[in-house]
Amino acid sequence: MVGFILKIQKMNLKKLLIGMLLIFGILPASAQDSTLVLSLKQSCQMGIEKNVNVRNAGLEQEKTRFQLKETQSKLYPQIEGYSSFNYYYSIPKLIVPGEIFGQTGLIPIEIGTKFDWSNGFKATQVIYSQSYFTSLKLANRMIALNELSMQQKKEELVYQVSQVYFLCQTTRMQIAQLKITMQNTDRLLEIAKLQNENGVIRKVDYSRVSVNKNNLQTQIDNLGELYNQQLGLLKYLIGIDVHENIELSDSLLFSGENIPGNWPELNNRTELKLLDQQMEVSSLNRKINRQSHLPSLSGIGQFYYQGQRNNFDYFSGENDKFYKVGFVGLSLNIPLFDGFQKRFKTQQNDIEFQQLQNTYEDISRNFSREYADALSQFKNNFNALIRQKENIKVAEETYSVSLQGYRQQVVSLSDLLLSESSLVEARLSYFNAVLQLKNAELEVKKAKGELLNF
């Protein structure tokens, strides 16, 4: 009984030690060896969260919000403290008629003292400035512009992730198909070996099957290396560690539900929305330049202590060294002439606005052409996929008949290998056709502005 208790205690101690090692990271936990299963939607969402370009676009958007707050801060009173000290080594003079002092001619009189020291506060408050209020609208437009720019970055990322995801899945399916073919080749190699030993076929025929197997293995190895590179690119795009194990869950099988319908409204394209916002920004800049000719009104106020002395004795014990001064008022600024600077700047804004309009019209026409091409390519690839399905069916029947005939010694090994090669080529071509169709579907979504509709 005591031995049984000691055995249990040893087992518990062992579990405790293993748990502590796992906690401190000395032993790898099973969770660290787990595989992350990702669908296309999850991959896109993860990329949007972690991709550096999207994150930088988000930071730019946040910076624009602070720029708006910076512009809005001018609506509040601008208050500053100051201290101004002047030493007049030559005191300014005022010329007055001598008759004031019972003399003739003009007499210079010194105005002020050698030392002048002022300390106080001054404040200004914008009361009316039409160009400033328009600049607030401009700041809000810049926020909307950055939001669209961030959306464009997301769309670009989703497009790239989708392409690489489809490519990885296609390569993986091709590897799986070649492995199935390898199993068939192994069985054929066994049959050929027995036939060679029994003198039914020549050794060179057995060698041909062996060479065919080696070629298949080389092709599998090359595709495996390519798959690892594609998977590494996908990990980079979605922002996960290159050493993390992932598995792609979405199938590339195509259903008729994905066939495009009627002609869409292409104004949903982010590029056009960006141009719309850019034209709004250009229009507001032009408006600000024109409004800068209008008067602006500000409230001003100042309170300070001024000390004027002929000797620098501000820190002596005497009183009345500083005198209190304060005032409030209005400041009206009326621009009259600036050498036509604002006029030329407004003309530049007009040209910029016209350029944006021309670009908008050109891109709109190009998007219509792009959608038509994408739709045509989709239909063409869809028909190619159907043909590849038929090719596989025919190739499978031919290979089955050839294999049966080879076993019965009515079909040569060359014909069997040729039919097997045709079957492999038909299946690999089918997977390529699936990839082309998925890419065409992606192009249609891009042309419709629906890349973010997972």
Q: Is 195 left (phi over 0), alpha (psi -120 to 50) or beta?
A: alpha
Could you read off the pLDDT of 422-448 as tens digits, one per residue? 998 999 999 999 999 999 999 988 988
Note the pLDDT of residue 262: 65
Q: What is the pLDDT of residue 32?
A: 45
Phi, psi of 436, rounded to the nearest 5 degrees:
-65, -35
Is a pLDDT exceeding 80 seen at residue 2? no
Torsion sign across C-alpha atoms 425, 426, 432, 436: positive
C-alpha triplet 159, 161, 164: angle, nearest 5°: 110
- Residue 124, classed as helix, strand or coil, is strand
What does the mean pLDDT of the chain come to?
85
pLDDT on residue 230:
95
Rg over CA atoms, the chain: 41
What local confidence, expressed as pLDDT, does residue 256 receive? 55
- The pLDDT of residue 162 is 94
What pLDDT score does 336 carry?
86
Q: Please state which of the ranges 12-26, 145-159, 359-373 shows the lowest mean pLDDT.
A: 12-26
Mean pLDDT value of segment 2-22: 43
pLDDT exceeds 70 at position 399: yes
Q: How far apart are CA 261 and CA 49, in angstroms?
A: 32
Highest mean pLDDT among 15-19, 41-45, 447-451: 41-45
Confidence class of residue 16 from pLDDT cuts 50, 70 and 90? Answer: very low
Give me the mean pLDDT over the 359-372 stretch: 90
192 compared with 114, residue with greater pLDDT: 114
DSSP letters spanning 66-120: HHHHHHHGGGS-EEEEEEEEEE-SS--EEEEEGGGGT-SSEEEEE-S-SEEEEEE
Give the mean pLDDT of 366-377.
90
Q: Crossing angle for the helix pair 341-407 and 130-197, nearest 10 degrees?
A: 10
Angle, in degrees to the nearest 10, between helices 413-448 and 341-407: 160
Q: What is residue 7's predicted lDDT score, i.e. its pLDDT?
A: 44
> In whole angstroms, what is the distance from residue 271 CA to residue 250 CA?
29
Rounded to an integer, what distance in angstroms lies between the CA atom of residue 285 and that of residue 287? 5
Query: Residues 365-386, buried b or exposed e (16+ Cβ, 10 A)?
Result: eebeebbeebbebbeebbebbe
> pLDDT tens digits, residue range 108-165?
888 888 999 999 999 999 999 888 889 999 999 999 999 999 999 999 999 999 999 9
pTM equals 0.77
Instruction: State the average pLDDT over residues 176-182.
Output: 90
Given strand 296-309, what is the order of strands in its sheet? 78-87, 115-128, 296-309, 323-333
How large is the average pLDDT for residues 343-352?
90
The pLDDT confidence band at residue 103, using thresholds 50, 70 and 90, is confident
What is the pLDDT at residue 171? Answer: 94
Can you tell me the distance from the alpha carbon of 375 to that of 441, in angstroms, rounded to the nearest whole number?
8
The predicted model gives 241-250 an average pLDDT of 90
End-to-end CA separation in angstroms for the chain: 64
Q: How far apart are CA 233 and CA 227, in angstroms?
A: 10
